[in-house]
Structure 1
Amino acid sequence: MQLQKIIAGQERQPNCDLTLGLELKEAKDGKSLCIWKADEQLLNGNQVIMGGFITSAADIAMAYAILSLLKDTQSFSSISINSTFHRPAFVGEITVTAKIKKFGRKVAYADATLSQNNKVIADVTSSIMIHD
């Protein structure tokens, strides 16, 4: 699977990660760390980062977290994703951490937290289907 090669540093991240400005720093043991360099292209009419982009950054980080637990023969897809926004996000660096809370045979549950300037801007949860 291409994403496993990305975690191993053998391939570049997919275009969606690059377009968003998200850089994978680490993914192992059901956890991931990404640094997101959000730029002005992601601003909404209120001059803050649009919530959909925040959710997308969390989704990417959770994908790397679950990937670190899957076998080579397995894949995954999101079932649901829920975002809770605590404060606005602005242009600049945002830390995205994700972890798998429960890893079953067919379904996993993940959490992600996004922080900017040491303040939590959003928490995101996801249910993820595991495919053999």
Structure 2
Amino acid sequence: MDSGVVVPCNGDLGLELLEAENGIARFIWLPRERALNGNGVVQGGYIAAACDAAMSYALASRLENAEGFTSVSLSVTYHRPLHLETAEARAEVVRVGRRTAYLEASLKVEGRLLASAVSTLLIF
């Protein structure tokens, strides 16, 4: 999937798209220092945004060009802290209906699960 569309928030986060096709998307992410919280680990909102971006690309790879979508719900579970290290975000479309889609995502460092997320998106 190469739509040629520049997504500003992905650039702000520092996400690098590896693939987005057939309902699966993968990003490489090296968080920037400004993403750190007072404890010296990546703040949860940045992690949620990385998972959300991966899920958006996964869904976009399954939809027709004229269809848009937006998040209805996003739930993130944090398993381990993320430091300034390279992580991989992976998302997959679990189910697509006429008006909604359900997706799952994970964020890993060297195979270790740091966060998992689920989301429902409205298709319009």
| TM-score in terms of structure 2 length | 0.96
Residue 75 of structure 2 is matched in structure 1 by 82
Structure 2: gaps (5+ residues): none
Deviation at 1:117, TM superposition (A): 2.6
SS where residue 48 of structure 2 aligns? helix
What CA deviation, in whole Å up to 9, does each residue of 1:50-85 have, x standing for no partner? 000000000000000000011111100000000000
Say how many residue pairs are matched: 124
Q: Secondary structure at the match of 2:81?
A: coil
Q: Corresponding residue for 1:41?
A: 34
Runs of 4 or more above 6 Å deviation: none
1:56 is matched with which residue?
49
1:55 and 1:22 map into 2 onto residues whose CA distance is 13
Matching residue within 106, 116, 120 for 2:113:
120
- Structure 1 Cα separation of the partners of residues 62 and 88 of structure 2: 22
Q: Paired residue for 1:25?
A: 18
SS of the residue 2:94 aligns to: strand
TM-score by length of 1: 0.90
Question: Partners of 2:74 and 2:18 in 1: how far apart?
Answer: 23
- Judge conservation of contact 1:111–1:124 (CA < 8 Å) in 2: yes
Q: Where in structure 1 are there 5+ consecutive unaligned residues?
A: 1-6
Aligned counterpart in structure 2 of residue 103 of structure 1, from 96, 108, 111: 96
Question: Contact 1:39–1:92 at 8 Å: present in 2 too?
Answer: no
